[in-house]
Amino acid sequence: MLKEKIAVIKKERNAVILAHNYQEGDIQDVADFTGDSLGLARAAQKTDAKVILFCGVHFMAETAAMLCPDKTVLIPDLAAGCSLADMIIPEQIKTWRMKYPEGLVACYVNTSAAVKAECDVCVTSTNAIKVIESLPADKDILFVPDYYLGSYVKAKTKRKIHLWKGYCPAHMAILPEQIDKLMEEHPQAEFLMHPECGCTTKQMHLADQVLSTEGMVQHVRGSGSKEFIVATENGLLNRMRTQFPEKQFYPASEHASCHHMQRNTLEKAFMSLVNMKHVVTVPPEIAKRAVKPIERMLEIA
Ligand code: SF4
């Protein structure tokens, strides 16, 4: 019933619904596009709709607002933030730059627009290695804010990367002991790991694939395996189970869920379109600077 009402109001508002892979299944069901941060940013750029209902967290809606200044970007719950993004503020980057004036700052897309405005290039978990490899080899690079993704990229690229000690609590909940137990219980299962996982540094050698959420979906599509242990936020399993009902998916931890993502519900998504709330905007002087590292990333990858 609510899903039908959403379809009607969506049409009236000339809106498109974008949902992150970590959103609950009901929201993914009504979305025009479900994907990871990079996919959603691209979908926002491509749409002709006047309104974007962004079912994800605040920094993602900010990115859409900066890339689509002529559209109205809504988020169902304004309090849907990101604990990882909150672990760095612009002043901390300015302090690092005073010490390394020739250095470059790469920010994970999980950062506020105000932080992005202080950075040279943006990355997602899909393209981080490619983007870092495109930077001059002799430069010191500060990678913010995720320590585990940064460690993974540092190990793969061998660049002079200074790691910020931020982390995602949902991915931190995935522990090495749980992975060992699941691998024992399901010896035929492939182990797919997101690079934000707290156990990345210890368990990376066990992973069949270290992938972004979108990379995981693509991998499952092309794999002959029937079972998968999935180490990321558990919302992704909704999408995997819907798209690949013939395959089995085991969450690496029952506790790997993001309370920010869960703030968005189907009801709030509906009310958001009814009331045209909550509009996400970025002050023009910040947007002008913050959009540059995003565009640089989109050019590279
Ligand atoms: S899962 Fe972690 S990184 Fe993603 S939005 Fe939630 S807190 Fe942020």
| For ligand 1, mutation pick of 86, 168, 230 (most atoms within 8 Å of CB) | 168
**Could you report the per-residue pLDDT of 265-295, keeping only the tens digit for each?**
999 999 999 999 999 999 999 999 999 999 9
The count of other CB atoms within 10 Å of the CB of residue 279 is 14
23: amino acid identity, one letter? Q
Is position 189 within any domain?
A: yes
For residue 219, say if its preceding peptide bond is cis, omega within 30 degrees of 0: no
81: left (phi over 0), alpha (psi -120 to 50) or beta: beta
- Report how far residue 287's alpha carbon sits from residue 279's, in angstroms, rounded to the nearest whole number: 15
- At residue 7's C-alpha, the angle toward residues 27 and 26, to 5°, is 15
When pLDDT is averaged across residues 122-126 and rounded to a whole number, the result is 91
Q: Which of 115, 230, 233 to mutate to test the pocket of ligand 1 (most atoms within 8 A of CB)?
A: 233
Q: What are the angstrom distances between the C-alpha of 275 and each of 55, 59, 82?
A: 16, 21, 24
Q: What's the pLDDT at 207?
A: 73
Cβ contact 93:115 at 8 Å: yes
Residue 32 structural domain: 2-82+261-281
- pLDDT tens digits for range 12-21: 999 999 999 9
Atom of ligand 1 nearest to the CA of 56: 5
What CATH number does the domain containing 41 carry?
3.40.50.10800
For residues 60 and 201, state if they share a domain: no
Verify that 74 and 113 share a domain, yes or no.
no
Prediction pTM value: 0.92
Q: Ligand 1, atom 2: nearest CA belongs to which residue?
A: 168
- pLDDT exceeds cutoff 70 at 197: yes
Of the residues 82, 196, 212, which should be mutated to test ligand 1's pocket, given the most ligand atoms within 8 Å of the CB? 82
Q: Are residues 145 and 183 in the same domain?
A: no
Residue nearest to atom 8 of ligand 1 (CA): 82
Domain count, the chain: 3
Mean pLDDT of the chain: 94
In this structure, the residues whose C-beta lies within 6 A of any atom of ligand 1 are: 22, 57, 82-84, 110, 168, 170, 233, 258, 260-261
- Average pLDDT estimate for 96-104: 98
